Amino acid sequence: MRARLPALEAETYLNTGGAGPLPDLAADAMRAMVDAQVARGRMSAMAVDAGRERQAALRQAVGRVVGRPEEEVAIAQSSTHAMNVVIWGAGLKRGDNVVTTNMEHPGLAVPLAVAAARAGAKVRMADVGDGSGPLEDVIGRAVTARTRLVALSHVSWMTGAVLDVAGAARAAAAAGALTLVDGAQGAGAVAVDPIGWGIDAYAMPAQKWLLGPEGLGALWVRPDLLDRIAVTTAGFETGEEHGWDGSLVMHPDARRYEASTFPEILLAGWTASLAWLDGLGWDRVQEGTRVAAAACRDALQGVPGVRLEAPRQAESGLVAFSVPGRSPEDIAGALAARGVIVRPLPEPGGLRASCGFFTNAGDIERLTEVLGEVVAC
């Protein structure tokens, strides 16, 4: 498996939570698409038909990640773009509110705040601690009769906790609100079950745990909510039978949330990455991720001067730790200078190692060895 990920030979790469290592198969697919676009016209009838087939294949592949059919998947530019579709489509009005948690990434927190301010709505924030506890009561205390949306992460980008999105969804449903889940740190690393959880929308990026290129993402939407989540960004791809007056017949499925020309080169790369992961088997990928992260947590506990941050039993691939009294940026910079790549986190301060199914004992040993040297300096 590591042979398919050349970046792992160059350094001890532990930042898949930022962007995963790109499989050589994905790079080959993108090069082949570039060559094809150079060699032949990009908008012949044959090319258009081939593009439609590639787009459908990608939706099918993403659907397998979430266990749902392709009709419920829309291609997006990123997870943030996908979340904006739902946030703006929820139809916030003056006096409404949205509920989120105190540990969200700006990719979710910023569009929530902007949309709420534009509508004259409020953002209500629930304190979920480190993210590892039950959330039905916590979210239930934050929602009101004017709550239109509950939005939270599947996996916390700061602690690695797998959030109780099912509990949050029950609280949201009791208030008549939608539930949007940011799957940036979840999809590909841990199992995704949107119908079982009772959520309404799930957003994911290509470049993290799904090992695709930057510039792509996807959105899963519960099929019976298409009329409730309005289309707010539209274009040629939103539907068919276009009129000169801007009229169109909107797609009857999630494709209505797609607007414009697709980046076919990137689509080829992500489809290749997903095909490889499919071939490995999602159970194998996710269990390998869990085992590697658990081994990393165990190893970090033995490094003097290093504090493992809660929760210690998280099932995700993220491992949060800190070096009390030392700047996370300085520690991460010192590690990078020695060929070990981790992510510094914002205040209150900490570091994050991302362990994938491809992370081996040598990577973990190198992290603890170099970290011990840096802490001792």
In tens, the pLDDT along 207-226 reads: 999 999 999 999 999 999 99
Give residue 315's identity as a one-letter amino acid code.
Answer: E
Would the pLDDT of 81 be above 80?
yes
Name the residue among 206, 188, 225 with its Cα closest to residue 58: 206
Q: What is the pLDDT of residue 267?
A: 98
* 239-269 confidence digits (pLDDT tens): 999 999 999 999 999 999 999 999 999 999 9
Note the CATH number of domain 2-23+281-376: 3.90.1150.10
Name the pLDDT band for 91 (thresholds 50, 70, 90). very high
In the predicted structure, residue 190 carries a pLDDT above the cut 90:
yes
Secondary structure of the chain: what % helix, strand, coil (to 5)? 45, 15, 40
At 304, which amino acid appears?
P
Given this model, what pLDDT does residue 340 score?
Answer: 98
Of the pLDDT bands very low, low, confident and very high (cuts 50, 70, 90), residue 321 is very high
Domain-by-domain residue ranges, the chain? Answer: 2-23+281-376, 28-277
Mean pLDDT of the chain: 96
Between CA 377 and CA 366 the distance in angstroms is 17
**Helix locations, 175-259, DSSP H:** 194-197
Mean pLDDT over 133-141 rounds to 98
Which pTM does this prediction carry?
0.97
Q: What is the pLDDT of residue 110?
A: 98
Give me 286's structure tokens.
């996710």
Could you say which of 3.40.50.620, 3.30.210.10, 3.40.640.10, 3.40.50.720 is the CATH number of the domain covering 28-277? 3.40.640.10
Nearest CA to 54 out of 257, 200, 268 is that of 268
d(CA 144, CA 82): 25
Query: What pLDDT is attached to residue 313?
Result: 79
- The 10 Å CB-count burial string (b at 16+, else e) for 274-297 is bbbbeeeebeebbebbbebbbbbb
pLDDT computed for residue 33 by the predictor: 97
- Is the predicted pLDDT of residue 192 greater than 90, yes or no? yes
pLDDT at 311: 86
Query: What percent of the chain lies above the pLDDT cut of 90?
Result: 97
Q: Residue 145 pLDDT more than 80?
A: yes
Q: Report the C-alpha gap between 1 and 180 in whole angstroms.
A: 33
Residue 312: its pLDDT value, please? 79
291: nearest Cα among 363, 202, 193, 184: 363
Let me know if 91 is exposed, middle or buried by CB neighbors in 10 A (0-12, 13-18, 19+). middle
* CA pair distance 189, 223, nearest whole angstrom: 25
Reported as a single tens digit per residue, the pLDDT across 329-376 is 999 999 999 999 999 998 777 999 999 999 999 999 999 999 999 999
Contacts of 188 (CB under 8 A, 6+ apart): 20, 65, 204, 208, 209, 210, 211, 277, 285
Per-residue pLDDT at 327 exceeds 80: yes
Indicate whether 58 pLDDT > 90.
yes
